[in-house]
Amino acid sequence: MPQYIPVTRFVNRFLRRSFKPVDNLHLLIPLTFSKTSLIYPTMSRFRAVLSPLFTSLTFAGSFVAAKYAIAALDPIAITFYRYLVALLFLTSLMLWQKLTWRGHLTPLDFLKLFLMGLTGIVGYHYFFFLSLRYTAVAHSAIINGFSPVVTGLLAAIFIKEKLTLKNYLGVIIAISGVMILITDGNLGTLFTLGFNKGDLLMLCAVFCWGIYAVIARRLLEKHPSLTVTFYSALSGVMILTLLTVGDSSSPGAAALSPVVILSILYMGLIASGIGYYLYNISIRQIGPTRTSSFVNSVVPVAVSLLAFLFFKEPLRPIMALSILLIVIGLRLMLRPTD
């Protein structure tokens, strides 16, 4: 039986002004609502924000987990184990949901899914980790902050995604908040950073993620989010398997400490399994540009908070201004396009 949640008139009015209705959302979220219910349109708008928000939190947690795992494993091995766990998790979801394995996927769809695995899973992580060998972490973080711009350009060119000027203004404001957080309020450092090989590699990672998001948008118009997430993860694991064959430099699972094993399980189950699934749902709901902007705006703030909790890294006063700009940017970015 569908579940109904009473919402006050004030909350209804706030949500109606803030968020755009999302079709077929009741098929994507476990808590369902009747289309004939007066509350359904309001809750659809509200829940459209939950997907990118929870995605951001799962991705932020992976930064903490990776800090523990990187001490024992090389980047390719971490990515392989991470997505192997994610694939097992997604397989169990496919069985639980009783989805048909082939579905209505065409050969062209399978090619697109392979490209999603190649770009969003293998390509992004490979270029990201490799960039850290040649450039500073700050450089990589700043370039990664421009991911929404790259995704927006690719979406406008290849899938003709249309947003209003206010939507794009929101993207710019949110990115400004991220840059203030990363540079500790000294935006002038952006113009003094040297451009090197590592920066180019990180830019390749950002383009890989943009391509992943754009391809996903088209596939999600025809197929369930879980199916798309499963086959893209399967493609990524197949490619990673080829890259790790014969590599004896990484220790076996038995030689890993419990902390490293828990870190890999978190990155696989939560960040890569649930996180990518929610990311694809969000792309289906609000589009690739808005999803990329939302996630890339919230993740740095969440990482800073988690770093304070786990590693006692200090919280800076400039975070307040950064959060304010991000909230304003997200508010404009999520406004209806019509």
| For range 236-259, the mean pLDDT | 76
Distance, CA of 173 to CA of 166 (rounded, Å): 10
More confident residue, 29 or 205: 205
User: DSSP label at 336?
Assistant: -
Distance, CA of 3 to CA of 207 (rounded, Å): 41
Distance, CA of 132 to CA of 74 (rounded, Å): 12
> Of how many residues is the chain composed?
338
Q: Tell whether the model's pLDDT for residue 14 goes beyond 50.
A: no
Question: What's residue 69's pLDDT?
Answer: 82
Question: What's residue 303's pLDDT?
Answer: 78
Which long-range contacts (C-beta less than 8 Å, at least 24 apart) are formed by 185-192?
A: 185/318, 185/321, 190/142
**Span 188-198, pLDDT tens digits:** 766 666 556 77
Q: Tell whether the model's pLDDT for residue 93 goes beyond 80.
A: yes
Q: Tell whether the model's pLDDT for residue 25 goes beyond 70.
A: no
Closest CA to 331 of 179, 182, 177, 173: 173
Residues 6+ apart with CB under 8 A from 34: 2, 4, 26, 40
Q: pTM above 0.75?
A: no
Distance, CA of 239 to CA of 255 (rounded, Å): 25
Number of H helices, E strands in the chain: 14, 0
Instruction: Show the tokens assigned to 9.
Output: 């008139």
For the chain, the average pLDDT equals 76
**Span 142-174, pLDDT tens digits:** 677 778 778 888 888 888 877 788 888 888 888
Angle between helices 137-144 and 165-182 (to 10 degrees): 170
More confident residue, 44 or 48: 48
**Span 260-303, pLDDT tens digits:** 899 999 999 999 889 988 998 888 888 888 888 888 778 877 87
Question: What's residue 318's pLDDT?
Answer: 77
Q: Tell whether the model's pLDDT for residue 123 goes beyond 60.
A: yes
| For range 23-37, the mean pLDDT | 33
Distance, CA of 280 to CA of 4 (rounded, Å): 26
- The answer to whether 193 touches 244, Cβ cutoff 8 Å, is no
More confident residue, 298 or 44: 298
